[in-house]
Chains A and B, each alone.
Chain A
Amino acid sequence: MKPLKNIGIFLDLSETDEFLLRYFKKLDDVFDFDSLTLVHFVALESDSTDLAALTQQLPKPLEEVLEDELLELVEKVFGSKKSSIHIKIALGGKLDILIKWVDSQQFNLVVLGKKAKEVGTGVFSSKVIRLTDSDCLFVPEEAETEFENIVLALDFSSYTEKVITRGLNLSKNLSSKLIPVHVLKAGFQYFPYFKNQEKYQNTLRVKAESTFKKIKKKTGLDAELICIQDSGNHISRSLHDFAAKQKANLIIIGNKGIADEDDFLIGSVAEQLIYAERKVPILIVKPD
């Protein structure tokens, strides 16, 4: 896995921007990124004539105005303007073109913010997360800038190794404690073959642990697997609740689970985590 060197941060002109930059400054102090690119997508409605009229009155192109606005914020957060910070303003309202550009930049991480209160404003972020091929970090506004505990959500799909390597990579620099977690799925019960639930979960646990042992050896991870019993809730809820209880500062999860079809751009667990849960930042690991 490549070290974190080249980062893209999506900003949307709201208060979240400052929060995101502050959150990232702390990481930058540790990692000293080669390049931070601040990306802003101008989602102008084609029929919004008011805005178009206003733009006409501007003394310089909208692009420059927005660039200045973001630079101002960078200065506020990072002190003087850092040479490693670039700004990309995407005009034209074509998200697919921007995503293509983002993927061509080979960002090690794309960072998006999530507002704590406003409902429904996560649409853009979750869209970007789905469409890009880069790893995504999704940071809710309430998140602390600490990295003591990192939860690794493992389902033993093809992503599991990547999730662990990313975790190891982060913990090396941030000296965080890694907590590998696996949610035991109860599975469907078919009449008349009702299994003993406890016995069944035990079998699953034994299987998970033996798989984990192999991966541990391969990746050099030094931590014990924690298996969470199926609570009847969605797996994402079990994961998030566990992470919150452990005071985890980050959940790392694969883009797709073992059972997800090609129709989904991201798996249902990752989807629910970014959609419904609001406390813990989530890092979604994409395929190579």
Chain B
Amino acid sequence: MKNKYVDIHNPVFFPTIILLVVFMAVTIIVGEPMLVLFDSFKTFVTEKTGWLFILAVNFFIVFCLYLGFSKYGTIRLGGKDATPDFSTSSWFSMLFSAGMGIGLLFYGVAEPVSHYAKPPVADPFTIESAQDAMSFTFLHWGIHAWAIYAVVALSLAFFSFNKNMPLTIRSVFYPILGDRIYGWMGDVIDVFSVLATIFGLATSLGIGVRQVSGGLSYVFGTPNDVWVQVALIAGITAIATISVVSGVDKGVKFLSEWNVRIAALLLIFVLIFGPTLFVFKSFVQNMGVYANELVELSTWTEAFVNKDWQGGWTVFYWAWWISWSPFVGMFIARISRGRTIREFIFGVLLAPSILTFFWMTTLGGSAIFLDMQDTLAGGNHEFAKAIISDESTALFVFLEKFPLRMVGSILGILLVASFFVTSSDSGSLVVDSITSGGKLNTPTPQHVFWATTEGAVAAVLLIGGGLTALQTATISTGLPFLVILIVMCYSLLKGVKKEYARDKQLADEIDQKSYSNRLTKVIMKQIDKDKKP
């Protein structure tokens, strides 16, 4: 369907809308029992398929490393003669900002402290649990997350730049499905990727708005309940929408640039006024421990302990990253044209991971350090307990230990809010692009429609069951998309192998000697003919 107001690909657009409406209606109408259902479904998926997530995500790393080190690493995205669109340093910072979303602000302090206070294996509040806390945080935010993104982004980049196909998930399946990707099979794949993106995004928006509301209530004493959060979603979505409609596209660009700068400012602020030396020391140590324990950490499945720690953390993260992956993947693909596969793999796996590790050490590591200091001075882990009592206020409790706490907290709130705006905006761009069949310039009303829908989904999920509902939605869309990702690896490998064989074939020399002779003959004939008259 295409007119002034809409430009959509019907077989993707309408199933997505119907599924979303049904889901939202059921959540609102059923109400309380839905929460119970959400919870039991989440438990079921994490308990029964948790091992699959763990195994698959590790497989993605192995797959990425294989591609990076193999002969296929020399293939250039965009063809032999393509040159990178961005310098390596700005590519790195853009990669980082792609993953540096609301999650880092929400979990930056909360996660390490939570593992330190409620560790899965060690005793709480010990040196051991502190070290484990950093290792588990690194595990969740490190190369595993980026391997998931790398698989999706590399597939998208390869098939759209090297094979000239539309930038949607279905294109990636061309080597397996052939022209069938333009039929119902492709539509199903795209519907799943849109749903995954919307729920992944809704989770981010949901936790973002919880943090804004938590921060406001912490700083100004405003009430912190679901209705305030819903009102905030409405308000912030409206701001995002207005900025898009009024053609202030620059506003969003401006915001996303300043997001990273303000985040960097916050980081430097904590670094200077916090335990500076400790941060540098522990950064080095944490990296070493992470590297050393990587295999053990990433294959640990709580097999010999009877806890449900992993379902709430590791499996949830894996599902979250997977459901985010079409969104982040599309962004990474766009900025990576002209890189070789080898550059791509190591750039995407390592650079943003290391920056994230530094962020986590500075925020969460410092929080743990401050708590340990408190205890040495006679405290009883009040600081850590205050942080974990509510994840949404963790950052603000932490910032209270620093000078200019009012400024720091307000900066934090604004930062989360503006991350919300940019995530919502770029998210709706991606969803819009997939539901319109891979187009990039869709009409504004449609763009507004998706921005609003995302806000609505986040709001409904919050009303229908809070964080549990958000997590359930993420995990349950993450599961089918996990299968899509595994098939994607196979498809990418097939495509890459063929590309390599073609490149090699083109590079082989043609026997030219006899051809030159023949060409000379034709030219001489013409010259002779020319001379005669």
Contact = CB atoms under 8 A, between A and B. Distances in A.
Interface of A: 12-14, 42-45, 48, 50-51, 54-55, 57-59, 62, 65-66, 68-69, 95-96, 118, 120-121, 123-124, 127, 130-131, 261-265, 287-288
Nearest to A44: B519
B530 interface: yes
A12 B515 contact: yes
B295 interface: no
B494 to A, nearest CB: 5
A57 B505 contact: no
A42 B519 contact: yes
Given A57-B527, A124-B511, A263-B497, A288 B518 contact: no
A265 B505 contact: yes
B505 A131 contact: yes
A12 B518 contact: yes
A123 B494 contact: no
B25 interface: no
Interface in B501-531: 501-502, 505-506, 508, 510-512, 514-516, 518-527, 530
A124 B506 contact: no
Nearest to A54: B523
Contact of A13 (B515, B526, B530): B515
Nearest to A126: B505
A131 B522 CA distance: 28
A13 B523 CA distance: 11
Given A12-B518, A51-B519, A287-B178, A121 B527 contact: no
B346 to A, nearest CB: 24
B217 to A, nearest CB: 57
A54 B527 contact: yes
28 contacts: A13-B515, A14-B518, A43-B512, A44-B519, A51-B520, A51-B523, A54-B524, A54-B527, A55-B523, A58-B523, A58-B527, A62-B523, A65-B522, A66-B522, A69-B522, A69-B526, A95-B506, A95-B510, A121-B511, A123-B508, A123-B511, A124-B511, A124-B515, A131-B506, A262-B501, A263-B501, A264-B501, A265-B501
A265 B497 CA distance: 9
Interface residues of B, number: 30
B34 interface: no
B519 A13 contact: yes
Nearest to B496: A262
Interface of B: 175, 178-179, 493-494, 497-498, 500-502, 505-506, 508, 510-512, 514-516, 518-527, 530
B495 to A, nearest CB: 8
B523 A43 contact: no
Contact of B526 (A12, A59, A263): A59
Contacts of B505: 127, 130-131, 265
A57 B525 CA distance: 12
Given A263-B497, A265-B501, A54 B506 contact: no
Q: Is the interface of B mostly helix, strand, loop or mixed?
A: helix
A288 to B, nearest CB: 6
Nearest to A264: B501
B76 to A, nearest CB: 13
A18 B114 CA distance: 81
Contacts of A262: 175, 493-494, 497-498, 501
B75 to A, nearest CB: 13
Given A123-B511, A262-B497, A96 B506 contact: yes
Nearest to A70: B522
A69 B526 CA distance: 9
A54 B494 CA distance: 46
A62 B502 CA distance: 29
Contacts of B515: 12-13, 43, 124
Nearest to A158: B178
B178 A288 contact: yes
Contacts of B179: 288
Given A14-B518, A131-B502, A45 B527 contact: no
B188 to A, nearest CB: 21
Contacts of A121: 511, 514
B491 to A, nearest CB: 10
Q: Which 7 A-B pairs have the closest CB atoms?
A: A262-B497, A13-B518, A262-B494, A65-B526, A54-B523, A123-B511, A59-B530
A104 to B, nearest CB: 11
Given A262-B497, A265-B498, A45 B523 contact: no
Given A45-B512, A287-B178, 11 more contacts: A13-B519, A51-B516, A51-B519, A65-B523, A95-B510, A120-B511, A123-B511, A124-B515, A130-B505, A131-B505, A262-B494
A127 B514 contact: no
Nearest to B506: A96
A43 B498 contact: no
Contacts of A57: 527
A43 B518 CA distance: 11
Contacts of B502: 96, 130-131, 265
